[in-house]
Amino acid sequence: MNLCIAVPGLNPTQRARLQSALAADAVMFCADLPEAEKRAAVAAAQVVFGNVPTAWLAAAAGLRWVQLESAGVDAYLNLNSTPRPTPVLLTNLAGFYDRAVAEAALAGILAFYRQLPRLLVAQPAARWIKPEVESTIRALDGQRVLVLGAGAIAQRLARLLTAFDAQVQFFSRTPRAGSLSTPAELDAALATTDLLINTLPHTPATIGFLDRPRLARLKRNAVVCNVGRGSTLDEIALVELLDSGHLGGAVLDVTAIEPPPTDSPLWRHPKVLLSQHTGGRFPGETDRKIDVFLANFARFEHGEPLLGQVETNRGY
């Protein structure tokens, strides 16, 4: 079987581990090849591990399975739009980043609540701004938190926030006990929400989900945290509501365009903490990705259901 390993930055130990585990197969490490050679390796592959341009996958006539090295699947939902005798299996790293993203969200929220960005800017200038920031410091204790989504990241966040005695509620499109499940229920809850955390994926149903009317329903001075997908949030409306004083702040790990244009107000807005989509990073990440791929490859060889299989009709 021809395998194309398209994960960039593999070190010699990681390559040797994959080569040893896949000794019975023809393995091509294509991430660092010139583009023409990389495209040829993808076109000849039955299995691809890594994120490659979707147009290249369309040209792979014998392709059977793609294991993405991301949780996001936005670009790959039309993978099977090219007629094939057998649909290509698509798997992602569902649940893989829950701990890292939850920690990143909590770090950003706490930094904003404790006014750390302003204090860190003042430090090298030896400016004592205690009188200016004391009145704007917030605490998670008793905050009413509404989490959009109820997946692995949302559940992890809820456990962390509960330890701070925050009151956590979920909005889930799939009805769950104790969760909001209809747009009407969500909109009614926004008026009493202190902190709104978005973990929703990019799907046709979530594009622009946090639009101006919905953001405007939030409790005055509420904070918005987005660790889902940038496409879900109307950033123009967000900035307008921050400027008007209706919203108190925003903690954004993701944005609609990455990186944002240099003239985007998100870069310099005093009420925005922008963490540049670093939320998923953690030590040993690549080794863990290899673990997932090899475990799934064993399932693939034995005809067993693959972990993280994407339902392209649902978008995740």
In a domain, 312, yes or no: no
Query: pLDDT tens digits, residue range 74-114?
Result: 899 999 987 888 999 999 999 999 999 999 999 999 999 99
pLDDT at 313 over 80: no
In a domain, 315, yes or no: no
In this structure, what CATH number is given to the domain that contains residue 144? 3.40.50.720
Enclosing domain of residue 62: 2-95+283-301
What pLDDT is recorded for position 300? 98
* Same domain, residue pair 145 and 224: yes
Whole-number Å distance between alpha carbons of 60 and 46 = 8
- pTM for the full model? 0.93
Q: How many domains does the chain have?
A: 2
Whole-number Å distance between alpha carbons of 89 and 67 = 8
Q: Residue 173 — pLDDT band, cuts 50, 70, 90?
A: confident
pLDDT at 179 over 80: yes
The per-residue pLDDT of the chain, averaged, comes to: 96
CA atoms within 13 A on the CB side of 250: 33
CA angle at residue 194 from 189 to 196, to 5 degrees?
Answer: 70
CA 183 remoteness from chain centre = 22
What pLDDT is recorded for position 314? 76
* Same domain, residue pair 90 and 126: no
- In this prediction, residues 264-287 reach a mean pLDDT of 97
* Same domain, residue pair 103 and 242: yes
* Same domain, residue pair 230 and 165: yes
Encoded tokens for 9: 């930055």
* Same domain, residue pair 71 and 188: no
Task: Find the helix or strand (DSSP H, E) in which 282 lies.
Answer: none
pLDDT at 21 over 90: yes
Cβ atoms of 308 and 292 closer than 8 Å: yes
Q: In this structure, what are the phi and psi dihedrals at residue 23, rounded to the nearest 5 degrees?
A: -60, -25
Cβ atoms of 69 and 50 closer than 8 Å: yes
Residue 233 per-residue DSSP state = B
CA angle at residue 168 from 166 to 171, to 5 degrees?
Answer: 160
Please tell me which residue, 73 or 316, carries the higher pLDDT value: 73
Encoded tokens for 193: 């929400």
What pLDDT is recorded for position 83? 82
